[in-house]
Structure 1
């Protein structure tokens, strides 16, 4: 019987791989994608980048403006994440299986979190462009909505995983709802919650660069401006600054995680 189970599992795996290969072939035919041409063009692309995509002396003069735009992008990302974390905490407590009040409130909290989490930040940007136009506020709300949905779900799972036993212990002693929240749930969950917030900050800084292209703000707008203007030297400097900033923020985030976990 065990052999039949593994044989069936292998067969399902082979069928899935065959289906995936079929979908890939159909996609290549529909899009007229040439695999050989795609791979052979990589050396030419690398040669072009080596000849054109590097900062020169003229580009370095734009470094203060680039750093200023990068600072704006980072601050907007942090602000959107911080505010989203506060709202996510409230909805997570209301929707958690451990601390939720149950009934309609838990259902509404989980439904809202699922809705916001399943809409991509880029989609939020396009939706909000209709109402707010191209400005910082559009990028801020796009990051806020995306962060809110993700953090609400992550916070719910963290609360259910970490604080279940302690909540049951306090309930058995007759403790009220709010003492349980503030004396057990939040203190026990803080390390995990902070870890999720740090992860979201990193993610938002990366996404904010792409959102800036849509909203016409921040470091993403500068890259789009330089690239469309064929100013590849300045565009390459923007890319280098973004990469260095991401590495620096990730290093700080990793250090903080190690300190709190």
Structure 2
């Protein structure tokens, strides 16, 4: 068979052409984006030595003279994460069951909650924190509500997706036995869903620890408030101490949650 009539060869040539066109398209897109944002590569390269000079001159060594004063905010951050994770998981599991197509009481309920969660998820939690600071004032309350809104919207979706991916054979068997809605939830859904619930909830706890740094930048409490305060006062030695404490705290939380996840799942 001639080469130009070979279907396999034509398919390979078409794929190669599509791949080449895709690379050209992305190259043009990147070039246009760099031009549009007026990014100066040479200025970026020239700024690297200044960055390292500022980092090693002003940030190091860390100032540990007030180390004891950071204990309270660290405890606040941990309690903050525990409270917001518990509230978010409780709200998320209820909404998640309503959102999943195999556990929702009615399709209208599913669409209603999916619309609310989609709205909440499309607003960054930093924006929520900024709005709530205006309403409640500077403090821990805006951060608490912002993380609950963010956590609930995130967990509701992942819980619902986890529930929809469960094995359907057990539910069909319970249906054949005439089980009620709550009996199917108790005996068919929850036992299969628990591993995913533990995994996502622990992951949310880690996110809440990290989010405290960002929330503090808008005055919403946590370790981030000290981070912002020290930066505003140009006390960069103390800033590096706060950052080091946060890194250590996050690593410890990740280690503990991984150990808990291994035992539970």
When the two structures are superposed, what TM-score results if normalisation uses the length of structure 2?
Answer: 0.89
**Alignment deviations for residues 27-51 of structure 1 (CA, whole Å, 9 cap, x no partner):** 3334332112213422331233122
Could you tell me how far 1:11 is from its partner in structure 2?
4.3
> Could you say what secondary structure the match of 2:113 adopts?
helix
**Alignment deviations for residues 220-259 of structure 1 (CA, whole Å, 9 cap, x no partner):** 1111111121111000000000001111101111111111
2:249 is the alignment partner of 1:245: yes
Is residue 143–residue 208 contact of structure 1 (8 Å, CA) maintained in 2?
no
Partner of 1:211: 215
2:24 is the alignment partner of 1:53: no
Distance 2:198 2:48 in 1: 41
**Alignment deviations for residues 171-198 of structure 1 (CA, whole Å, 9 cap, x no partner):** 1111111111122211221111110011
Stretch moving more, 83-92 or 216-225: 216-225
Question: Which sections of structure 2, spanning at least 5 residues, go unmatched?
Answer: 1-6
Task: Please list, as runs of the form range in 1=range in 2, the aligned pairs for 1:102-121 lying within 5 A after superposition.
Answer: 102-121=106-125
Task: Please list, as runs of the form range in 1=range in 2, the aligned pairs for 1:1-261 lying within 5 A after superposition.
Answer: 1=7, 4=10, 7-56=13-62, 59-261=63-265
Stretch moving more, 211-220 or 9-18: 9-18
Q: Which has the larger radius of gyration?
A: 2
Matched pairs, number: 259
Is residue 92–residue 152 contact of structure 1 (8 Å, CA) maintained in 2?
yes
Distance 1:194 1:9 in 2: 43
**Alignment deviations for residues 62-81 of structure 1 (CA, whole Å, 9 cap, x no partner):** 21222321221222122112
Distance 2:224 2:13 in 1: 51
When the two structures are superposed, what TM-score results if normalisation uses the length of structure 1?
Answer: 0.90
Is residue 98–residue 167 contact of structure 1 (8 Å, CA) maintained in 2?
no
Could you tell me how far 1:7 is from its partner in structure 2?
4.7
- Structure 1 pair 145–16 and aligned structure 2 pair: CA distance change class (3 A): farther
Could you tell me how far 1:14 is from its partner in structure 2?
4.1
- Structure 1 pair 26–96 and aligned structure 2 pair: CA distance change class (3 A): same
Q: RMSD over aligned Cα, in angstroms?
A: 2.0
> Could you say what secondary structure the match of 1:215 adopts?
coil
- Structure 1 pair 253–131 and aligned structure 2 pair: CA distance change class (3 A): same
Question: Which sections of structure 1, spanning at least 5 residues, go unmatched?
Answer: none
